[in-house]
Amino acid sequence: MRGRPRFSPFTSNLDYSAAHPIALDPSWSLGTMNFMKTTENNLIPPALAIEMQEAVANAAKGVRNPERIKRARESMDRIREEIRKEHGVLDIGVAAIRELRDQ
């Protein structure tokens, strides 16, 4: 069965030699790898990134912080109002749902 890993019930390991025969060839090597240059992601301020990580950790644990919830609600309301003032009412949801239903 070439191309699919074999399962051994005695070792509970997958045998990838059938799926990857090149891995058994000692003459094959990766050679020189040219890795992509990476840049620092400075788009999110460090303080906000820490706050977001804490929020995700608390959400995963089911911990609710009423003060943080209040601040988030106020921020979302403020952003929503700024968008409404700049672009008007964006009524795209109903049209998008109707279009998806008609397909």
Q: Which of 19, 21, 23, 22 is nearest to 3 (CA)?
A: 19
Q: Distance between CA 57 and CA 11 in Å, rounded?
A: 36
pTM of structure: 0.43
Q: What band does 3 get if pLDDT is binned at 50, 70 and 90?
A: low
Q: Distance between CA 26 and CA 17 in Å, rounded?
A: 13
* Length of the chain, in residues: 103
Three-class DSSP category at 14: strand
Q: Distance between CA 11 and CA 82 in Å, rounded?
A: 61
Residue 77: the pLDDT is 96
Phi and psi dihedrals of 18, rounded to 5? -75, -35
Q: pLDDT averaged over the chain?
A: 76
Q: What band does 44 get if pLDDT is binned at 50, 70 and 90?
A: confident
Q: Is the pLDDT of residue 15 over 80?
A: no
Residue 17: the pLDDT is 52
Q: Is the pLDDT of residue 19 over 70?
A: no
